[in-house]
Amino acid sequence: MQISLFKQKLKRRGQKSLETKKLWQFAPTDIILGFIKTEKTDNQLKTVSKVKTPVIKNGAKVKEKYTVTFKSGRTLEKERVKTEVKEVEKIKLTFKVLKWANKVDVKNAVESLYGVQVEKVNITKAPYKFRQRRGLVRKSYVKAIVTLKQGEKMPDLAKVA
């Protein structure tokens, strides 16, 4: 008797969760609330990151040999792959986002609104700030830092109000 009641409760819970998911389907313009303008100019929004890539000649990786000597007099010969360091420019944009939105939602919204390919999305929560006796300074909000793929240009941010 108790087992059947428990199974009925589980079925009801599953139906409720499906109904709520259907209710929370929003358009991309509803997910992104706006672009957060920082004091940085457009040139400073581009970040330069260093990437190590292996040196390849004739279809094979170039390896170099080096020896390691210890105080005891023992020596070891090791091989390592030669690498080049390249500087890659990446554009990072920050958006104010709905509190329940996740990384996949933000990625799909940015790609559909601006027509840009997104490499990765980081989400941070800006905390509620207040001062004693003077009250509220800033409400809490969620911001998404979107990194565009290499070679993508800065989108026109005036499309979303």
Tell me: the pLDDT tens digits for 137-154?
778 889 999 999 888 887
Grade residue 160 by pLDDT with cuts at 50, 70 and 90: low
Tell me: the pLDDT tens digits for 76-111?
888 888 888 877 778 888 889 988 888 988 998 899
* Cα dist from 113 to 76, 87, 151, whole Å: 57, 29, 18
For the record, the structure tokens of 48 come out as 């330069």
Tell me: the pLDDT tens digits for 22-58?
445 667 777 888 778 665 555 556 677 777 888 888 8
Average pLDDT (108-129) is: 89
Give the count of alpha carbons within 13 A of 112, CB side only.
Answer: 12
20, pLDDT greater than 50: no
Phi and psi, residue 70, nearest 5°:
-100, 170
